[in-house]
Amino acid sequence: MFNNVSNMTTDEFSIESVLERVVERDPDQPNFHQAVHEIMSDIIPFIQRSGNEHYKGVINRIIEPDRIIQFKVPWENDQRVYCVNRGFRVQFNNALGPYKGGLRFHPNVRLDTMKFLAFEQIFKNSLTGLPLGGGKGGSDFNPKGKSDSEIMRFCQSFMSELVKYISADMDVPAGDIGVGEREVGYMFGQYKRLTSQYHGSMTGKGLAYGGSKVRAQATGYGVLYFVREMLAMNSESLEGKTLVISGTGNVAQASCEKALEMGARVIAMSDSDGYVYDPEGIDERKIQWIREHKNERRGRICDYAAEFGADFGEGSPWHIPCDIALPCATENEIGEEEALTLIANGVSCVAEGANMPCTDAAVRQFRLHNIAFAPGKASNAGGVAVSGLEMAQNSQRLSWSFKDVDDNLIRIMKRIHRKCLKYGQDGDYVNYVRGANIAGFTRVADAMLAQGNV
């Protein structure tokens, strides 16, 4: 039985006891277990120190999703063969507002993946200060190698089922890995066709039909705005710093673009095939080439090496010496070994652009060696923040300027940094993981308590 955590004694109320119950209920979900352990490692000691019995009662409710939706997605490929994929939507917690979180199309998508991402999303959305709950969804559909017609048919079939569970005031999906403006457009068009409603039921839309300026750049820009605040704690700036960035998608591209604007030098980027090392620096001309080559022709990073005479290698770029590392690709890409290599090579700051790209063991090493480390729920919250701003614009039937949205994004990232400092300051060192976890939790927990048994 999954016992009520609020009935535990102080000795029984522990990280181990909570995780034990999570594993007992869902033994085949290691990613979700990792997410719960990472957050509860800070929340449980905080509750024990505070002696807040009411917060104890929230724990067993906050680790269980409100609902899990799984459905089949039948579609026809260009060879007139019928295919079937699985679709998911995990609506985890709406204490603060409508469920909010992206849709991911990737062959590795499983319920475990969706639950861990949705759980993280609760606290990330809380940190923004916006009225957003936490959710996540997607499918094991692989858009790579598919024609536009195939992707359109899949998206329309996917939305034909998802439409039952979303709306502007209930659940507002967005894009994620494998889901860009094209896919959002196909899904939004199907939603509109089925409901006869034109409102903010999705974010990440094109600018021509309700999208927000800065949305494509928001996550990457937000990472750099957060890093700027981290460096300012030691009276430093990004000027002259060398950066290594994993990934070549929107987040990595925007991170590189903003880093250059702030005077830094990006010397490496990567994709699933490998990485390029360009000691001269990936400048604006080169990042534009990556953007055009990847987005329009779906090229690979190895083509960059051939084009600009850079070094290409298989695997990850974390052995390359740098001042700042920005993992912007996927979860668990930096383990303990990669973390120790970065530390040995002089890294001083690591900020997550992807969702949980660093393992618990890696984060532990950063903390032991006093490396400034920002978890994704804080540093990459810019994407969902601008999604929230897109929702506000849609509700008001307005379109804000690029500068207005960007200024709001800067203010939100500064606010998140201040919240992390409130609970994460530990002498001269800032434990951003602890600060983000506790700040995110307290806002959600207070809302849940105020609303009763939710």
pLDDT tens-place string over residues 365-403: 999 999 999 999 999 999 999 999 999 999 999 999 999
Share of the chain above pLDDT 90, in %: 87
Residue pLDDT, tens place only, 46-61: 999 998 889 998 999 9
- Spot the catalytic one: 100, 115, 124, 136: 136
pLDDT of 1 > 60? The answer is: no
Read out DSSP for 31-72?
Answer: HHHHHHHHHHHHHHHHHHHHT-HHHHHHHHHHTS-SEEEEEE
252/267 Cα distance (integer angstroms): 13
pLDDT of 298 > 70? The answer is: no
Confidence (pLDDT) at 42: 95
CATH 3.40.50.720 in the chain: give the residue spans.
218-374
Confidence of residue 4 (pLDDT cuts 50, 70, 90): very low
pLDDT of 64 > 50? The answer is: yes
Confidence of residue 133 (pLDDT cuts 50, 70, 90): very high
pLDDT of 323 > 90? The answer is: yes
Going by DSSP bridges, is the β-strand pair 99-105/82-93 parallel, antiparallel, or unpaired? unpaired
Share of the chain above pLDDT 70, in %: 96
User: Tokens representing 65?
Assistant: 């999703």
CATH 3.40.50.10860 in the chain: give the residue spans.
67-198
CATH of region 218-374 = 3.40.50.720
Residue pLDDT, tens place only, 193-225: 999 998 889 999 999 999 999 999 999 999 999
Q: Which residue has the higher pLDDT, 6 or 28?
A: 28
Coil, strand, or helix at residue 210? coil
Mean of all residue pLDDT scores within the chain: 93
pLDDT of 293 > 90? The answer is: no
> Which residues are paired to 244 by β-bridges?
268, 325
Phi, psi of 44 (to 5 degrees): -60, -50
259/278 Cα distance (integer angstroms): 15
Query: Do residues 129 and 415 make contact, with C-beta atoms less than 8 angstroms apart?
Result: yes
Confidence (pLDDT) at 453: 77
Confidence of residue 3 (pLDDT cuts 50, 70, 90): very low
Residue 27 CB-half CA count within 13 A? 1
pLDDT of 192 > 70? The answer is: yes
* Amino acid (1-letter code) at residue 7: N
Confidence (pLDDT) at 13: 79
* Amino acid (1-letter code) at residue 354: A
Confidence (pLDDT) at 355: 85
Confidence (pLDDT) at 8: 45
Confidence of residue 296 (pLDDT cuts 50, 70, 90): low
Residue pLDDT, tens place only, 8-23: 444 467 899 999 999 9
Coil, strand, or helix at residue 425? strand
- The number of beta carbons lying within 10 Å of the beta carbon of residue 197 is 10
Query: Do residues 339 and 367 make contact, with C-beta atoms less than 8 angstroms apart?
Result: no
Phi, psi of 42 (to 5 degrees): -100, -35
- Annotation says 258 is catalytic: no
Architecture of the domain delimited by 67-198: 3-Layer(aba) Sandwich (3.40)
Q: Sign of dihedral through CA atoms 5, 356, 380, 424?
A: positive
Task: Kindly state the average pLDDT of the residues 71-84.
Answer: 97
Tokens 């917060």 found at:
55
Tokens 């929340």 found at:
43
